[in-house]
Structure 1
Amino acid sequence: MNAQHLQTLAWLIMGSTGSTPGVLGMEGGRLRFEAHGRGALTMGQLRTLEQRTGRPGLTDRLTMGHSLVLFDAPMPEVGQVRFPWYYFGGGMKLTVAGAPYRFSFLQPQNTQTTPAHVAGIGSGRASGRAWKAALAGV
């Protein structure tokens, strides 16, 4: 791992149109994602995420607009890190404790932005490069 601390805006992607904004961070040998509300996730996707994370009540809390840590895992539990070409440098796939996650560092088209969730193409691709460097060798 090349970076001890990294924190960027990211959208957790589920299915072809589901997403929720949040902050993806790495510090102290841990990877963490905090979702900021429901975003564009369907109820079915929220229930799947609740099962995947083992977080009872996740569906209700995100639906009410709360921020919620979806995972905070030691780096040895992070694997299968990929930066597919079709994300154009602005996204990645990985597993955390065996569960699959997809992230975009570029705002998905079907989302509304708030001042706290604004990221342009340049900054999204820069975040992708930073994560690729930080997770090299994972």
Structure 2
Amino acid sequence: MRSLVWLMMGSTGSVPGELHLSDGRLVFEAYGRGALTGGQLRELEARAGRPGLGGHLDAGRAGVVFDAPVDAVGAVSFPWYYFGGGMRLRVGEAPYRFSFLQPQNTRLPGDLRGAGDIPAGRAAGRGWKQALRR
């Protein structure tokens, strides 16, 4: 399973990326810094336990935020206030919030424009809910 998602931080911070589940591992790769502040990049780097990740994303490059066995993923929820278009989870002790819908303040790389619309985002949410059900 593979989806375009936005990692959400704070009330306005977000970064686009790809969430995929394969061979019992859940991986999130961010595409550049998105709409994250410098402080949010440092927080993400610390949360992920990946020194240098913030600088890598700030330079506009892609970077793996986490690559974890599904058994290390917990507290998976699909809050009602995301209207089927988002989820929360923990990888180890680190919390993450994802949206399957493109936030208004985010730009996508040219080859991904048009992704993240409401019907596609809600369908992705249903797929992930099924895939991460335990």
TM-score class, shorter-chain normalisation, is over 0.9
Which secondary structure does the structure 1 equivalent of 2:106 belong to?
coil
Structure 1 segments of 4+ aligned residues over 6 angstroms from their partners: none
Which secondary structure does the structure 1 equivalent of 2:112 belong to?
helix
Match of 1:23 in 2: 18
Per mean C-alpha deviation after superposition, the further-off stretch among 50-59 and 110-119 is: 110-119
**1:105 partnered with 2:100:** yes
Question: Structure 2: which 5+ residue stretches go unaligned?
Answer: none
Identity of aligned residues (%): 61
In structure 1, what is the Cα distance between the partners aligned to 2:94 and 2:49? 11
Provide the aligned C-alpha RMSD in A. 0.9
Contact 1:77 1:98 in 2 (8 A): no
Match of 1:75 in 2: 70
Normalised by the length of structure 2, the TM-score is 0.96
Match of 1:121 in 2: 118
The amino acid across from 1:128 in the alignment is G
Match of 1:36 in 2: 31
In structure 1, what is the Cα distance between the partners aligned to 2:89 and 2:49? 18
Q: Give a deviation string over 1:32-91, Cα, whole Å, max 9, x none.
A: 000000000011111001111111111111011000011000011000000000000000
* Larger relative contact order, structure 1 or 2 (CA cutoff 8 Å, min sep 6): 1
Normalised by the length of structure 1, the TM-score is 0.93
In structure 1, what is the Cα distance between the partners aligned to 2:45 and 2:105? 22
